[in-house]
Structure 1
């Protein structure tokens, strides 16, 4: 078998221009040069036919035919010969599936190549004028010998070739062809390179360039040794094979390497997309300066996924084959779907393909997750008692034969329903609610808290996909119900804080007791509410500044008729969900206290120790003086 690796490497890097001769169309039933020669000789007059009995060169026979019958008759005869019904065009079809090849040069008169591509995918160049404004999104086909759409440009006779190359009828077009031979690797298929013009051109380029020119490859079956030797002198690599021998190996390589070739910037995005599209895949990418990233593949048609893993231990293999999700050791990333995680060091080889195209291999993989098949269902869910109804998307999977799991992603939490089929055809339903780290829409969060509160309150709910059968949880966890109510209050607080403080939370952290208390504090601070706190029996010591004259003369240790109010200035910001807030001064009012100790310095009171006798103290956040409030108007400031 021919070793095509070097050629395939060039194709993978989009460095190959293809040169197709008549042999490429042989399988499709196109007439070869010897058949055309035989047909033209058969049409020659009998007295001349004998003179050309041993002639095999098409250019000489066609020139003789033209001298006898004229140019128009020659072209009509050639067109008649090429009026054939194509048979096997599989090679042409394979060619269209290689977007890496954007330029094709051909000497063929037939239209099999452009027919295979179709007008939307290729552009045909026959003259210099056709080279103006070449499209970048199509394969360019250069028909350097012309075809029957522009009969005046057909090259066939000896004189045609002489005029073309000596008189330079298409100077710019031919220079364009020369530039391809000079700057690209060339692959010749169905072409023996015996045409002196092409072969001579390659030799001239070799002589005139001081550095190594591009690579040249020839695929042709059964060349004679002397021809192979001739090619070797020109450093043309010869493959004793047919195009149909190359294509399977090429496609197998492209299927495995197309993604990595794009990531390494060996191919352009258009080539990557066109090849992926042939496999019903649409790549989502991120282009970078040094490398490209493939984020994911979206499927656009039928999907066949194959995973080949080798080197797994017997224990791991048995766990996977058992399909018992209770044995699984992880979850799919960013989901609550059970999965078995296979780490890189647990396997030797890995290949994951979709529709034959490799999307991940061992080099890409850190961990491989195997999970139950997940189906996305569009439906609606409702709780009639609270007039709740929403269109939703559920993820459905079967952890085992007896259970069905439904996952619903909401703004504040992931909602997991597990339906178990018990004996006597009884359907049991359990539910788990897993809070998310954050959410972005407060009103959505409040709405979905109403939903889960209704469920824990044993309200009936309906999932349309279950034929509108009402479902009710058999038991209520009162602690969880109160927690859900508190979480709802937290989100309501945040919504109120946005209005009161004229702010907007970009991201809302999940409920925690600290976050909840902070939200409560901000609201109470804004409204200057009187808050109650149980401090019965606590002892406090306060420093006293310049007291009013004579005030402390009547105070004695043991007295219980006094109230105290302490003011603490707010010097620091508080942070909630990434935003900073200023709290007002904290005022603590203790309605009844017992004097435990009085300390003096230089005859003046400087410290008082007292005990709180009232069941509650009042806390008010305000920057105003407490005596401005009616309920605290009798307080007197002592420091």
Structure 2
């Protein structure tokens, strides 16, 4: 096993990891990619709209969205377009289902607009936070999913969606998200953060990492990014931001993590590396595990 993946799994087994999930994690299930959204906006804007944009602009969702809002029909039409794009019938949600079988991970931050992750969890096992108000209802015993950029369920409140260049620039001042931002900073202090589903091509994930580092400095724990076949340029960007790169598909890593936990879960709880509550949840979720714990005097 890759030594970095092995190290990551050890952190997960000790409940010391939070996830940060991007749009690539949803593509297998049928969700639109960043490029699908860009193409849809360009098509909606028409040929004259496309002609006004540079080739570089057309590769960045935040810039295409900003231009559409300013030059075409405004923000409400952009929200309608998003809603239509995300009205799809989910296909292969196996990665989301695998994730639900790992109760060791109790904090998930996602920039995705879809609801695939929370839909995979039983309602009693997860809390979904789309704005500040939801932070009051988090439960330490359940998995909490923070929708960092809003989601399709909040499209009626267009101010709660982060998509345009102006949205990104004002993100850290946005009154809808300041408590989520505090939770995110705490996660970087208390947990090792793993990024899944990010390509670094049209993501603001490096901006978030740099902003967190400016706020909390050396208190940040280790960071990992899982993605296949990154170029040397992308690898160097990650290295410059102290992010460990794991060259693999999300499904490969999740399957390996689950398998390793199954092999070690009994020893982990006996050695107090994992809570009894997480052990019980893991056994319940992975019914093919048959095991008995018996208290001893020592």
TM-score, normalized by length of structure 2?
0.89
Deviations 1:462-496 (A, max 9, x none): xxxxxxxxxxxxxxxxxxxxxxxxxxxxxxxxxxx
Q: Is 1:59 equivalent to 2:66 in the alignment?
A: no
Q: Is 1:36 equivalent to 2:37 in the alignment?
A: yes
CA distance in 2: counterparts of 1:154 and 1:11, whole angstroms: 31
Deviations 1:211-245 (A, max 9, x none): 56311010011211111011112221101111111
Conservation of the 8 A alpha-carbon contact between 1:99 and 1:271: yes
Q: Is 1:112 equivalent to 2:132 in the alignment?
A: no
Instruction: Give structure 1 stretches of 5+ with no counterpart.
Output: 292-639
**Deviation of the 1:248 alpha carbon:** 2.6
Conservation of the 8 A alpha-carbon contact between 1:58 and 1:157: yes
Deviations 1:408-433 (A, max 9, x none): xxxxxxxxxxxxxxxxxxxxxxxxxx
Equivalent runs, 1:393-404 vs 2, <5 Å? none
Conservation of the 8 A alpha-carbon contact between 2:101 and 2:286: no
Aligned residue number for residue 262 of structure 1: 269
Conservation of the 8 A alpha-carbon contact between 1:163 and 1:169: no
Q: Is 1:253 equivalent to 2:260 in the alignment?
A: yes
Q: Is 1:95 equivalent to 2:113 in the alignment?
A: no
Give secondary structure in 2 for the equivalent of 1:27. helix
CA distance in 2: counterparts of 1:12 and 1:202, whole angstroms: 24
Give secondary structure in 2 for the equivalent of 1:237. strand
Conservation of the 8 A alpha-carbon contact between 1:22 and 1:32: yes
Equivalent residue in structure 2 for 1:149, among 141, 148, 153: 153
Aligned residue number for residue 81 of structure 2: 77
Conservation of the 8 A alpha-carbon contact between 2:113 and 2:152: yes
Aligned residue number for residue 17 of structure 1: 18
Q: 1:121 to 1:276 in 2, by over 3 A?
A: same
Equivalent runs, 1:235-634 vs 2, <5 Å? 235-280=242-287, 281=290, 283-286=292-295
CA distance in 2: counterparts of 1:211 and 1:64, whole angstroms: 38
| Alignment RMSD | 2.3
CA distance in 1: counterparts of 2:296 and 2:260, whole angstroms: 23
CA distance in 1: counterparts of 2:26 and 2:36, whole angstroms: 13
Give secondary structure in 1 for the equivalent of 2:28. coil
CA distance in 2: counterparts of 1:210 and 1:58, whole angstroms: 29
CA distance in 1: counterparts of 2:185 and 2:296, whole angstroms: 33
**Deviation of the 1:170 alpha carbon:** 2.6
Equivalent residue in structure 2 for 1:184, among 175, 187, 191: 191
CA distance in 2: counterparts of 1:62 and 1:208, whole angstroms: 29
Give secondary structure in 2 for the equivalent of 1:223. coil
Aligned residue number for residue 222 of structure 2: 215
**Deviation of the 1:206 alpha carbon:** 4.4
**Deviation of the 1:46 alpha carbon:** 2.4
Give secondary structure in 2 for the equivalent of 1:149. helix
Aligned residue number for residue 496 of structure 1: none
CA distance in 1: counterparts of 2:182 and 2:217, whole angstroms: 20
Q: 1:10 to 1:29 in 2, by over 3 A?
A: same
Q: 1:38 to 1:195 in 2, by over 3 A?
A: closer
**Deviation of the 1:253 alpha carbon:** 1.3
**Deviation of the 1:264 alpha carbon:** 1.0
Q: 1:282 to 1:131 in 2, by over 3 A?
A: farther
Q: 1:141 to 1:212 in 2, by over 3 A?
A: closer
Conservation of the 8 A alpha-carbon contact between 1:2 and 1:241: no
**Deviation of the 1:84 alpha carbon:** 1.3
CA distance in 2: counterparts of 1:168 and 1:196, whole angstroms: 22
Q: 1:21 to 1:43 in 2, by over 3 A?
A: same
Give secondary structure in 2 for the equivalent of 1:192. coil
**Deviation of the 1:164 alpha carbon:** 2.2
Give secondary structure in 2 for the equivalent of 1:120. helix
Give secondary structure in 2 for the equivalent of 1:266. coil
Deviations 1:296-330 (A, max 9, x none): xxxxxxxxxxxxxxxxxxxxxxxxxxxxxxxxxxx
Q: 1:251 to 1:86 in 2, by over 3 A?
A: same
Conservation of the 8 A alpha-carbon contact between 1:13 and 1:267: yes
Q: Is 1:162 equivalent to 2:166 in the alignment?
A: no
Conservation of the 8 A alpha-carbon contact between 2:15 and 2:104: yes
Give secondary structure in 2 for the equivalent of 1:199. helix
CA distance in 2: counterparts of 1:98 and 1:66, whole angstroms: 40
**Deviation of the 1:210 alpha carbon:** 6.6
CA distance in 2: counterparts of 1:93 and 1:219, whole angstroms: 18
| Greater fraction of residues in strand | 1
CA distance in 2: counterparts of 1:285 and 1:276, whole angstroms: 15
CA distance in 1: counterparts of 2:296 and 2:22, whole angstroms: 38
CA distance in 2: counterparts of 1:108 and 1:101, whole angstroms: 18
Q: 1:264 to 1:66 in 2, by over 3 A?
A: same
Give secondary structure in 2 for the equivalent of 1:155. coil
Instruction: Give structure 2 stretches of 5+ with no counterpart.
Output: none
Aligned residue number for residue 45 of structure 1: 46
| Greater fraction of residues in helix | 2
